[in-house]
Amino acid sequence: MVIVGGGAAGDAAAAMLRAEGYKGQITMLSMDEHAPGDRPNFSKGTISGTVAMDFNFVRPSSFYHEHDIDVRLNTAVTSIDTDGHSVQLANGEIVAYDALLLATGAEPIRLSVPGADLPHVRTLRSLTDSLDIAERASRAKHAVVIGASFIGLEVAAALRARNVDVHVVARDDVPMTNILGQQLGVFMQALHERHGVTFRLGTTVSRIEADHVQLENGEIIAADLVIVGIGVRPALALATQAGLAINSGVLVNSRLETSSPNVFAAGDIAQWLDDATGVRTRVEHWVVAQRQGQIAARNMLGANVAFDAIPFFWTEHYDTMLLYVGHAERAFTTEVFGSFSDASPNVRVNYRNHGQLMAVATIGRDRESLEAELAFERARVIAT
């Protein structure tokens, strides 16, 4: 069994293969410098410096040795031979497979403005990135975060924990309205502003210098650290080279099998048909990647199990945790219940598409989030 990628999906698949009793060889090929990491922590405790190094890893380092999982770090796969059932590494080595899992994840979108290649301009994806940002943040006085995404705002909160002056620059009029809706987006912005973050919205950076950034309107903002968080795109180069069917991700069936037999895909690159909506869906969430890795592993062993888990993610900002279950595209209407109180927010937001409940976001209502997930699961069972 060969797994390309050392993220959530790849790690979960390797562990599940052993949990299912597979005794053969498992090889995980990862371009990362470190063992599979707890990526949600990279934008939070790692940068703020509030957690120990061990918290950055999904499992103890001994796990892979004890379970005879060959994890090869700093290893790039250059091509896949689906006819020959093998992959070729950058060093020329050929690794054969009986079943292959592509879990290459996503890559940060780079900024294309003058100065974007300066050394203090960073993106965040790997533990190496996070540790580098943390070290720079320990010396920085002024940071600009470009992009008001979940990652961007989590990084902003982590930098404020180090008392770094933070400006968030984004084209959005209100942060994250395309995902959370207007009212929750306004609340998230106000939450960060109460913790000292300054927003420059409806604009973007036009130029980056060693000690400042310039906005499109000519405004100058001091910055000795710049974090670019303007989104990611699925890492599809290998899948494309292998001739797999691709849309906005690698097309997979309900078993997460690609257009090539015995080649599976999971995590940020996988685009599957969501039975609940009848729409092909690709979701960039940690828990989804883990669950897909587990299902893919079972199907690599011939289990014939469909992936039908309900998407779920969480995001943490200061002492506020937001839970989101389900999946709503941009064309949604919202129903808001509860209070956006500064001291103790207690909110539920329903997201509907043509009247159908597609997702639920909660703050301070963890039980309702669990109940919503259960209701989605029951509705899916009834529908099938």
How do residues 5-61 score in pLDDT, each as one tens digit?
Answer: 999 999 999 999 999 999 999 999 999 999 999 998 999 999 999 988 989 999 998
Strands 100-102 and 142-146 turn out to be unpaired
Say if CB 77 and CB 2 are below 8 A apart: no
Average pLDDT, the chain: 93
In angstroms, what CA-CA distances link 130 with 107, 159, 226?
A: 15, 12, 13
Say if CB 73 and CB 30 are below 8 A apart: yes
The CATH code of the domain at 110-225 is 3.50.50.60
| pLDDT-wise least confident of 5-9, 255-259, 312-316, 379-383 | 379-383
State the span(s) of the chain assigned CATH 3.50.50.60: 2-107+232-300, 110-225
Closest alpha carbon to 137 in 208, 52, 198, 226: 226
Distance (Å, rounded) from C-alpha 366 to C-alpha 372?
10
In angstroms, what CA-CA distances link 64 with 18, 173, 199?
A: 10, 46, 44
Confidence of residue 381 (pLDDT cuts 50, 70, 90): low
Task: Inform me whether the pLDDT recorded for 210 exceeds 60.
Answer: yes
Cβ burial of 23 (10 Å; 0-12, 13-18, 19+) is: exposed
Phi (first) and psi of residue 194, to 5 degrees: -65, -25
The CATH code of the domain at 2-107+232-300 is 3.50.50.60
Question: What pLDDT does 343 receive?
Answer: 78
Structure tokens at 371: 């109940």
Q: How many CA atoms lie within 13 A of 118 on its CB side?
A: 19
